[in-house]
Amino acid sequence: MPVGSVAKGEALVTTGGAKLAGGKIVAGNTAACGTCHGGDLTGYADMPPIAGRSPSYLVRQMLDFQKGNRNGPGAKLMKPVVASLTMQDMVAIAAYVSSRSPEPSKSTTTARR
């Protein structure tokens, strides 16, 4: 992974790349992954877990959504999320997401009951 990928990926995953500039929030070029995949990225409702997945798998899936090669039920939600991502963004996201534990946190497990 390129130097800085995990940190850049964390920013994209947690905020969608949004930044504070001049006292104003400037939107990023994607959506925070936790919005759909859960705060710990271990899945939420019908959304699959992504934490701890293989980086190559994650990048391949994002590319397939972006290029329209995936057309399942989740594709309609994912296409706009990945539309503006560059390959460097995808590598950074994969670096961060793959570094996360695939085990749900205790707070998530309790909330799912």
Q: How far apart are CA 3 and CA 20, in angstroms?
A: 23
pTM, rounded to two decimals: 0.87
| CA–CA separation, 22 and 9 (whole Å) | 23
The least confident of 10-14, 34-38, 39-43, 103-107 is 103-107
In a domain, 107, yes or no: no
pLDDT digits (tens, 9 = 90+) for 14-41: 999 998 899 999 999 899 999 999 999 9
Within a domain: 104: no
Does residue 13 sit within a domain? yes
For position 48, what pLDDT does the model report? Answer: 93
How many domains does one find in the chain?
1
pLDDT band at 1 (very low <50, low <70, confident <90, very high): confident
Q: Residue 113 falls within a domain, yes or no?
A: no
Print burial letters for 91-104: b (CB count within 10 Å at least 16), e (below 16).
Answer: bbbbbbbbebeeeb
